[in-house]
Amino acid sequence: MYQADGTRYETMKYNRCGKSGLKLPEVSLGLWHNFGSTAVYENMKSLCFTAFDHGITHFDLANNYGPEPGSAETNFGRIMKEELHAYRDEILVSTKAGYLMWNGPYGDWGSKKYIIASLDQSLKRLGLDYVDIFYHHRMDPETPLEETMETLAQIVRSGKALYVGISNYDGEHMKQAAAILKELHCPYIINQNRYSIFDRTIEKNGLKQAAHEADKGIIAFSPLAQGTLTDRYLNGIPADSRIATDGRFLKASQLTEEKVESICMLNEIAKERGESLAQMALKWVLKDHVVTSVLIGASKPSQILDNLKVLESADFTEEELKRIDQASKMEN
C-alpha cells in the first residue's frame, strides 16, 4: 500500500485562489494525456505518487479525457480507491463537462441537462461523493449564460462540488458570469485557460486582467505549448514524441522552420539562465503572480521532477523578458 512521503509539503509553494479560502499548489498535474485506456496503469500510479510525494495536491480532469472519453476519470478513480483514499482530504480533484461525450440533441455544453448528467457520470467514474472544483468547460452560444451559471450554483448547493470555475472564457464573458454567480452566492474562484509564451490569448482578450481585477484565480493549461516549449523538437521529431504517436493536438505541419528557429532562440535564453526550456516556460507563465497554478502533463515521473525545478527558478530581468518576446514574435 502506498504511503506518501512525509516531506511532501516542504518545498511546494501554495497560492491562495483569488479571495477564496482555497490554496492551490503552484504546479498542478493535468490528466489530459497519459491516463486513458491506451496508457499503462502502473505508470499512471507512478505519476500520481511522484506528484503527491512532492506536494502536488491538485489533479485536474475532464469527463472526456482519454482516450476513450471518460477513461482518465475511471483510472484516476481506481488509483484514489486503491492507493490514495487515505489522503482524500489532502487532495484537490477537479473536473469539467467537456464535449463529444454522447450523440443527440442533449450534448449542448452549457445546458443544465448536459452539465448535471456530465458531473453525475464523472462522480461515478471517480468513485467520489464530490469534486473540489467543477468547471464549465467551454461557452455554449446557444444556451443562456444565466442557465449555465444557475446550474453551477445548483451543483454547489447539492454538495457535488465545493467550488466552481469557468474555462476558455474571455474577459467580457467572465465578468458577466462572475456577476451572475455573485448574485447566486456561488463560490466561483478560478478560470482555466490556455497560456504560454506561444499563446497569449488571455492577455489579448482581457481575461487575465479581468480575473486579476475581480480577485479570481487563473490556472494555465498547455504552458509548454504541447511540448514545443521543451527540448523535444530542437533536432527534428522524435519517434516517441506526441506528434509522432498521437497527432491529434500537435501536427508535424505546425513545426515550421520559423517555429523551430523560435524554439532554438528561447532555448538559448533558458541555457543562459541555467535551466531547461521547459522550466523557463513554466516560470514565464507564473512570472507576475497573476496565475495561481500551472498545469503540467507528464508521461514519466522524471518529467514531473524536472518541471518542479521551476520552484527554484530566478525571477526574470526586464532584458530577458524582452528577448523572450522577440524570440516568440512569430506567435504574437
Compare 245 and 313 and report the one with higher pLDDT. Answer: 313
Question: What mean pLDDT comes out for the span 28-48?
Answer: 97
Mean pLDDT of 292-318: 97
pLDDT more than 90, % of the chain: 82
Q: Locate the domains of the chain by residue range.
A: 14-251+278-314
Helix (H) or strand (E) holding 283: helix 277-286
pLDDT of residue 330: 46
| E strand spans, 21-125 | 23-25, 27-30, 58-60, 92-97
Quick: pLDDT tens for 253-301. Answer: 666 788 889 999 999 999 999 999 999 999 999 999 999 999 999 999 9
Which range has the worst mean pLDDT, 54-68, 82-96, 137-151, 297-311?
A: 137-151
pLDDT at 331: 44
- 107 pLDDT band, cuts 50/70/90, is confident
Quick one: which of 298, 269, 301, 330 has its CA closest to 29?
298
Which H/E stretch holds residue 303?
A: helix 301-307
Neighbours of 212 (CB within 10 A): 16
pLDDT at 61 over 80: yes
* Residue scoring higher pLDDT (308 or 260): 308
Cell output for 8: 511532501
CA-closest candidate to residue 118, choices 195, 62, 186, 179: 62
**Cell digits for 194?**
490556455
Structure confidence by residue, pLDDT tens digits, 217-246: 999 999 999 888 998 878 755 545 555 445
Among 3.20.20.100, 3.40.605.10, 3.40.50.2300, 3.40.50.920, what is the CATH number of 14-251+278-314? 3.20.20.100
Q: Residue 314 corresponds to which amino acid?
A: A
The whole-chain average pLDDT of the chain stands at 93
Q: pLDDT band for position 138 (50/70/90)?
A: confident
pTM of the entire predicted model: 0.93
Decide if 228 contacts 264 (C-beta within 8 A): no
The pLDDT of 177-195, averaged and rounded, is: 98
Quote the pLDDT of residue 250.
54
**pLDDT value, residue 244:** 42
Average pLDDT over residues 54-81: 97
Residue 332: pLDDT above 70? Answer: no
- Which is nearest to 127 in space by CA: 68, 71, 80? 80
